[in-house]
């Protein structure tokens, strides 16, 4: 059987600072320069006040599991094989990220499980933020 590489995110002009941060081991999000709303995903304008002023801020990388599933049968051949989890993590600062949990038995995953970010380099450009149970 041939190996298919897993698809990776494709940074955009708006998301490039996020991916630069993950390469450095930093989790970042946009904050509105006018109303202060912390937003994810990145966007050209604030969804609250419509301002185009924004800055990237470093986040703590800590949060809790908001929701999760275990995928047993993926539609994409690169993910065929062992089941894997997909989680939504609500960060302490508020935004929610889609991610995977690592270093955890699926039987202990639960809503509200405290987690912390770990960085998983995929290549020279993309480092994925994943989460593990908090120490």
Q: Of 63, 55, 49, which Cα lies nearest the Cα of 95?
A: 63
Cα distances (Å, whole numbers) of residue 111 to 28, 69, 106, 131: 23, 11, 12, 14
DSSP H or E stretch at residue 28:
strand 28-32
Instruction: Give the model's confidence band at 3: pLDDT under 50 very low, under 70 low, under 90 confident, else very high.
Output: low
pLDDT of residue 99 exceeding 90, the answer is yes
pTM recorded for the entire structure: 0.92
CA 124: distance to chain centroid? 18
CB 122 within 8 A of CB 8: yes
Give the residue carrying structure tokens 């990776």.
8
Beta-carbon contacts of 122 under 8 Å, excluding residues fewer than 6 positions away, are: 8, 128
Q: In CATH, what number does 60-135 get? A: 2.40.50.840
Q: Where are the domains of the chain?
A: 11-58, 60-135
Calculate mean pLDDT across residues 99-120. Answer: 96
Terminal alpha carbon distance of the chain? 39
pLDDT of residue 90: 98
* Structure token digits, residue 102: 């690592």
């Amino acid at each position: 059987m041939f190996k298919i590489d897993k698809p990776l995110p494709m940074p955009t002009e708006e998301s490039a600072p996020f991916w630069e941060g993950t390469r450095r081991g930093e989790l970042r999000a946009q904050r509105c320069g006018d109303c202060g709303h912390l937003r994810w995903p990145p966007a050209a304008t604030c969804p609250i006040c419509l301002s185009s002023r924004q800055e990237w801020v470093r986040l703590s990388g800590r949060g809790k599991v908001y929701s999760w599933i275990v995928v047993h049968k993926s539609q994409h051949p690169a993910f065929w094989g062992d089941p894997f989890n997909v989680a939504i993590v609500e960060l302490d600062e508020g935004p929610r990220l889609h991610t995977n949990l690592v270093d955890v038995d699926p039987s202990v995953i639960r809503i509200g499980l405290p987690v912390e970010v770990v960085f998983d380099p995929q290549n020279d450009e993309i480092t994925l933020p994943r989460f593990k149970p908090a120490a």
